[in-house]
Amino acid sequence: STLFDEIIKHPKFDSYKKIDTIARNRPKGFTDKANQGYVNRAYLWQHFINPNFISARSMYDAWAYSRVNCGLTFYKQRFSLGVQLIHYDYLFYLPIEFQLKDDNYRPTTIEYQYKIDIELNKLFKEYNVNYTTITGTIEQRLSRIKYFLEL
């Protein structure tokens, strides 16, 4: 979210729908599957109805969390349809290089991060996803993203 918050300040994205906090704004009291289902539907819906959007997460992120938290087939039909209907002009992959900030929503252990990362990479491979890997410090990552977005 730190990178997202910085990128959306650019005037290029003034007319874009900004999609960031879907998971953190979820209804309280859901079970893991119900909660993950809510997040998945929200990501797919927001990405589908907003042809010009910028997001801190992709549908692949939501799906990777689903596969780790709820099983490999959870929401597979919906995401398979999403892959066909939702297009990303740019998709950046940020590998694990430092500890996640505790957001009181998801586990922040390195083991959990690696599980999500493995599933995300499997999805990229399975669906032949075109993406750009961004590494380095937050400042270096921000600089590279700005370069690719021509900001």
Band (22; pLDDT cuts 50, 70, 90): low
Global model pTM greater than 0.85: no
Q: What is the pLDDT of residues 67-120, one digit of tens each?
A: 888 877 767 777 878 888 888 899 999 998 887 777 666 677 889 889 999 999
Long-range contacts of 56-60 (CB under 8 A, 24+ apart): 56/1, 56/3, 56/4, 56/19, 56/20, 57/19, 57/20, 57/22, 57/23, 58/88, 58/91, 59/83, 59/86, 60/91, 60/120, 60/123, 60/124, 60/127, 60/129
